């Protein structure tokens, strides 16, 4: 069973530091319309809270600290991703821990995103905006700060079977991000060939993958997602964030993508201007806010 209300915006903040919860709670309440926030101080309380919920009331997002009493953030993450009923709930970790081995480990266990704990309230506001775009709104809200992206020498893989959509997305990325390298595949076989024969020869392998879910069926897209995860794991490579970017806003499509370990699911806007801002927001979130494993 999948959550029935895809528009529900329920967030659980789990942190034993009351000030840190407040710093994120206030901008979320101001930015995200109709949001419900539950605050907890440790992992044990979170698991008890989740067990009391019905599937339609599972949270839209869990935001965890790492260092907490009773049960730390990593232990909570491992449990949530080991239980099929909870696996679709995206989990973001905000932590002061900067150990690269640990960051790689939490991504390998299915973390959606790792964010370094901010040092100012303004940074919390920006995080709240991008959490709304990426996990709560499902449709991007279009803010100008994302269009300031100036990140060079990064590579992105776009997996898109529609050539018109591919051309539009690649054009937008090149216009909004300086010096970006873009690769394209269009189905499981072309993606597998790229992974096996091109990945290791590239001077800068992709550090972000944008995947259309319907290739042309949902099962085909999920199979590609599984192929990516299997390749990275079996070749001892750090996880690469996968953004599922689809016109579908169906709750079951969103849940299934997360169950197959997509990092985030975002619904494509149909308007070109909104699409441009949305793609820039995606890139900005993953390379200006999120901390990735060291070799990405």
Query: Average pLDDT, stretch 170-194?
Result: 91
pLDDT tier at 101, thresholds 50, 70, 90: confident
What pLDDT, on the 0 to 100 scale, is given for residue 139? 54
**Is the Cα torsion angle 83, 81, 39, 36 positive or negative in sign?**
negative
**Domains assigned to the chain:** 10-136 (3.40.50.2300), 144-291 (3.40.50.2300)
Beta bridge partners of 114: 93, 291
Nearest to 278 by CA among 269, 286, 291: 269
Average pLDDT score over residue span 133-158: 65
- The answer to whether 106 and 114 have CB atoms below 8 angstroms apart is yes
Per-residue confidence band for 8, with pLDDT thresholds at 50, 70 and 90: low
Share of the chain above pLDDT 90, in %: 67
SS (H, E, C) 145-211: HHHHCCCCCCEEEEECCCHHHHHHHHHHHHHHCCCCEEEEECCHHHHHHHHHHHHHHCCCCCCEEEE
* pLDDT, tens digit, 9 for 90 and up, residues 217-228: 999 999 999 999
| Mean pLDDT on 57-79 | 93
Q: Indicate whether this model's pTM tops 0.95.
A: no
51 has a pLDDT exceeding 70: yes
pLDDT for the residue 265: 96
Q: Given phi > 0 = left and psi -120 to 50 = alpha, else beta, which region is 78?
A: alpha
Token representation of residue 169: 């997305």
Asked if the model's pLDDT at residue 215 lies above 60, the reply is yes
Per residue in 231-277, pLDDT tens?
Answer: 999 998 889 999 999 999 999 999 999 999 999 999 988 887 788 88
Residue 127 has pLDDT above 60, yes or no: yes
- Answer for the pair 276, 168: CB distance below 8 angstroms, yes or no: no
Q: What is the pLDDT of residues 186-214, one digit of tens each?
A: 999 999 999 999 998 998 899 999 999 99
* The token pair that represents 197 in the structure block: 């024969």
Q: What pLDDT is attached to residue 147? A: 38
pLDDT at 146: 40
Rounded to an integer, the average pLDDT of 140-148 is: 47
Separation in Å, CA 46 to CA 38, 76, 80, 229, 252: 10, 8, 10, 28, 24
Q: Of 226, 218, 212, 215, whose CA–CA distance to 279 is shortest?
A: 212
Residue 3 has pLDDT above 80, yes or no: no
Tens of pLDDT, residues 147-166:
344 455 689 999 999 999 99
Contacts of 244 (CB under 8 A, 6+ apart): 211, 212, 213, 221, 225, 257, 262, 264, 265, 266
Q: What tokens appear for 126 in the block?
A: 């920006």
Question: Average pLDDT, whole number, for the chain?
Answer: 89
pLDDT band at 288 (very low <50, low <70, confident <90, very high): confident
Predicted pLDDT of residue 128: 92
């Amino acid at each position: 069973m999948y959550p029935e209300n895809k528009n529900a915006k329920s967030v659980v903040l789990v942190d034993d530091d009351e000030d840190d919860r407040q710093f994120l709670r206030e901008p979320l309440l101001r930015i995200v319309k109709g949001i419900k926030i539950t605050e907890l101080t440790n992992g044990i309380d979170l698991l008890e809270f989740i067990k009391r919920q019905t599937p339609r009331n599972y949270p839209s997002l869990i935001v965890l600290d790492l260092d907490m009493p009773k049960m730390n953030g990593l232990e909570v993450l491992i449990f949530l991703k080991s239980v099929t009923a909870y696996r679709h709930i995206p989990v973001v970790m905000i932590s002061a821990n900067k150990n690269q081995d640990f960051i790689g480990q939490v991504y390998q266990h299915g973390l959606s995103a790792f964010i370094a704990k901010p040092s100012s309230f303004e940074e919390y506001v920006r995080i709240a905006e991008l959490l709304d775009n990426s996990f709560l709104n499902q449709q991007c809200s279009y803010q100008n700060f994302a269009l300031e992206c100036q990140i060079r020498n990064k590579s992105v893989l776009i997996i898109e079977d529609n050539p018109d959509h591919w051309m539009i997305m690649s054009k937008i990325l090149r216009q909004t991000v300086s010096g970006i390298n873009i690769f394209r595949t269009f189905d499981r076989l072309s993606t597998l060939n790229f992974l096996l024969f091109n990945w290791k020869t590239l001077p800068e392998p992709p550090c972000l993958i944008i995947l259309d879910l319907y290739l042309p069926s949902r099962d085909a897209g999920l199979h590609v997602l599984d192929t990516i995860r299997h390749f990275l794991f079996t070749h001892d490579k750090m996880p690469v964030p996968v953004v599922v970017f689809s016109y579908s806003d169906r709750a079951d499509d969103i849940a299934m993508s997360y169950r197959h370990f997509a990092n985030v699911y975002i619904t494509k806007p149909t308007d070109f201007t909104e699409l441009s801002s949305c793609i820039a927001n995606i890139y900005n979130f993953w390379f200006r806010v999120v901390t990735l494993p060291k070799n990405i």
